[in-house]
Amino acid sequence: MSSELNHQISHSSWIPDSPTTIILIHGAFASSTWWDLVIPHLSGYHILAPNLPGHGQSSEKEFSIQNATTTITQLIRSHAKDSHAHIVGHSLGARVAIHIAETNPSLVDSVFISGYGSLPQTALTPYIPYAVWMTQRLENLVPRSVIRWAMDGTDIPRIDTRLSTLRLCQSVMAPTETKGPKPWNARTCIIVAGKGGIVPSADSRSAAVRLLEIGKLGNKSTVAFWHPDMRHPWIRQDPGLFADSVKAWIEGRELPHGFEMIVS
């Protein structure tokens, strides 16, 4: 594994001699280290795990979907094998992954995303970043053992509140266009983690259906699945299953047992 900080974005790299590159894009208020449980299951692939602007070692950068897209596409051009890669995005990273596929199709071999969502403009929108900022600090006070108990063993690291500033919350929680992205031509798999319960951790199925309909306009091979036992942060709940699902999609095989197809 190697790690470097260039003038654009910090990232880590694994197995650089592999002929096939996977880009792992993490979610909001996390960093590339959130993939540390998944990466050991992706042996055989060249892995690039960037820190989104405003996050981790890229915290000095200003976050926006466009800024994230620009920096990650530069990373693909300069470090991915033959300047193209399979794009994997979780949560906020899913939005970035779709935007990369939409705006830079020549760089993308396939897309695998989970936890896609959007934030519409409402009367409450200006107050959401403040609520997120406060919630993060309250959640950090909860023992990790309690969180693992409530979320089926999900190993969620504490958020570094020194980096998760109110300004970052405002940037991340900025409302998105209600129409969604334009159709993109990459072969795409959309995953919905379906389990809620005591902790409301299920993904939005309706958001996935809307995205599926748009995706099919660009590539009829676009599909969506949901898993009733996985929670939103399933990269930390069952990292082996997540990695096996990514590999199955990249390699053109059926997803592991437990996924159910969503029909739009």
- In the chain, where the domains are located: 2-119+176-261
What was the pLDDT predicted at 264? 76
**Dist CA 49 CA 230 (whole Å):** 23
Among 17-31, 114-128, 154-168, 206-220, the minimum mean pLDDT is found in 114-128
pLDDT > 80? residue 150: yes
pLDDT > 90? residue 227: yes
| Residue-wise pLDDT tens digits, 243-254 | 999 999 999 999
Can you give the pTM of this predicted structure?
A: 0.94
What was the pLDDT predicted at 87? 98
Centre a 10 Å sphere on the Cβ of residue 83 and count the other Cβ atoms it contains.
13
- CATH fold of 2-119+176-261 reads Rossmann fold (3.40.50)
What was the pLDDT predicted at 121? 75
What was the pLDDT predicted at 177? 65
Distances (CA, A) of 115 to 20, 54, 134, 189: 24, 20, 22, 12
